[in-house]
Amino acid sequence: GQNIDQPTEMTATEGAIVQINCTYQTSGFNGLFWYQQHAGEAPTFLSYNVLDGLEEKGRFSSFLSRSKGYSYLLLKELQMKDSASYLCAALNQAGTALIFGKGTTLSVSS
C-alpha cells in the first residue's frame, strides 16, 4: 500500500520563502510529483522527481530523498497568486496511476 503525508495548512507573507514537506511510504517507488490547485480549479503539474536531489524551476524547487521517503516543495519570493493547495503525489507500484496526499493549503498574505 501507499501512504502520503503533508501538512494540512500553512501561512506565509509576500516575498518570503516557504517549504512544504511530504513524506511517503510506498511498496514501490516510481517518482514523486507536486501539483498546484487553485480553489475551484483543476490541479496543474509543478514538478517531478525520480532521483535524489533538487530540481529547480524558476521560483519553485522540489527536493527528493528516496532513502528517507521525503520530499519538499520550496516556493521563493512568494506572491499572492501562490495562495493555493499543493498536492504531493506518488505513482502506484505498477507505475500506472498517481496516488495523492490530502494536500497543503497555503495562504499568502501581504
Q: What are phi and psi of 82, to 5 degrees?
A: -80, -5
Q: Which of 62, 73, 101, 106 binds other proteins (CB under 8 A)?
A: 101
For cell 517507488, name the residue.
Answer: 29
Q: Is 14 in the site for other proteins (CB under 8 A)?
A: no
* 5 and 87 Cβ atoms separated by less than 8 Å: no
**Minimum CB separation from other proteins for residue 92, in Å?**
8
Q: Is 60 in the site for other proteins (CB under 8 A)?
A: no
Nearer to other proteins among residue 94 and residue 110 (C-beta) = 94
Q: Which of 98, 106, 108, 109 binds other proteins (CB under 8 A)?
A: 98
* 89 and 101 Cβ atoms separated by less than 8 Å: yes
Residues that bind other proteins (CB under 8 A): 30-31, 33, 35, 41-45, 48, 50, 87, 89, 91, 96-103
